[in-house]
């Protein structure tokens, strides 16, 4: 059974930094691209970042590029998101998701329960 | 690529048929997925490639469309189907989700 378990969320001051993690199990982690998707309280879903299976390729939404860094440690089956220069707009539940590739489409087949990041003074 | 869902909410009764539409700002072939999300839970993939049913998803859910216009249909709505549904374009960066459609009990 696929399991994704996020951790590391919490309260951080504006301008601060935080690293969230996602521990994966139940599948061959290095075979799958992984993504972070966030959801501000009471709002919709927003894709944040994707990393390829071997970590060589990374992609970001414009609002976080240059501030956030996605990475992975395939030896530990763990995905990371390092978040710097955080602002109130970054307040959200951060989900990690396993990407499923089908006919050139990329879908999120498994999700963690999410970790809440709150940016506030 | 923007994806626009409609309606933003719909009230329906158990047994009803519900249709949700998603329109992409440019053609995306069939690179579209549909997700269901219940309060306090992560999203769940229902449909991929516009019309392929994800394993384990009841057959009352179906998807159709290609290019710019897509539809998610729920036949014979069940109590467990009251949730928020999102479409997602699946081939272009940035990946984009629709704004969501909340299916509420009438």
**pLDDT tens, B7-19?**
999 999 999 999 9
CA distance A58 to chain B (A): 11
Average model confidence (pLDDT) for chain B?
97
User: What are the counts of helices (DSSP H) followed by strands (DSSP E) for chain B?
Assistant: 0, 11
Ordered strands of the A68-73 beta sheet: A3-7, A18-25, A78-83, A68-73
- Condensed to tens digits (0 to 9), the pLDDT of residues A67-119 reads 999 999 999 999 999 999 999 999 999 999 999 999 989 999 999 999 999 99
Residue B96 — pLDDT band, cuts 50, 70, 90?
very high
Residue B74 — pLDDT band, cuts 50, 70, 90?
very high
Q: Give the other-Cβ count within 10 Å of B29's Cβ.
A: 16
> In this complex, which of A45, A62, A102 lies closest to B43 when CB atoms are compared?
A45
Task: Report the residue of chain A nearest B99, measured CA to CA.
Answer: A44
Q: Read off the pLDDT of each residue in B82-103 and give the average, rounded to a whole number.
A: 97
User: What are the counts of helices (DSSP H) followed by strands (DSSP E) for chain A?
Assistant: 0, 11
CA distances from B71 to A113, B34, B94 (A): 27, 9, 22
In the block, residue with structure tokens 């992984």: A34
- Condensed to tens digits (0 to 9), the pLDDT of residues A10-48 reads 999 999 999 999 999 999 999 999 999 999 999 999 999
CA distance B5 to chain A (A): 12
CA distance A112 to chain B (A): 7
- Condensed to tens digits (0 to 9), the pLDDT of residues B48-60 reads 999 999 999 999 9
Which residues in B lie closer than 8 A to residue A63 (C-beta atoms)?
A: none
Task: Report the residue of chain B nearest A95, measured CA to CA.
Answer: B42
CA distance A90 to B14: 38
Cis peptide before A117 (omega within 30 of 0): no
């Amino acid at each position: 059974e696929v399991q994704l378990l996020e951790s590391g969320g919490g309260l951080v001051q504006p301008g601060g930094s935080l690293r969230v993690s996602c521990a994966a199990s139940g599948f061959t982690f290095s075979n799958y691209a992984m993504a972070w998707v966030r959801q501000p309280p009471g709002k919709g879903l927003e894709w944040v970042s994707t990393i390829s299976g071997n970590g060589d390729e990374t992609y970001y939404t414009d609002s976080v590029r240059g501030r956030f860094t996605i990475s992975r440690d395939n030896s530990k089956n763990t995905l990371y998101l390092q978040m710097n220069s955080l602002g109130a707009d970054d307040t959200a539940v951060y989900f990690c998701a396993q990407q499923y590739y089908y006919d050139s489409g990329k879908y999120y087949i498994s999700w963690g329960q999410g970790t809440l990041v709150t940016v506030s003074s | 690529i923007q994806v626009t869902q409609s309606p933003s909410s719909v009230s329906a009764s158990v047994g009803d048929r519900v249709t949700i539409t998603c329109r992409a700002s440019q053609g995306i072939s069939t690179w579209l997925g549909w997700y269901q999300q219940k309060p306090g839970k992560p999203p769940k993939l229902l449909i991929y490639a516009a019309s392929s049913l994800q394993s384990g998803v009841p057959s009352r859910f179906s998807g159709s469309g290609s290019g710019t216009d897509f539809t998610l249909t729920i036949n014979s709505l069940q109590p467990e189907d009251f949730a928020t549904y999102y479409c997602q374009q699946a081939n272009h960066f940035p990946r984009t989700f629709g704004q969501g459609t909340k299916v509420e009990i009438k």
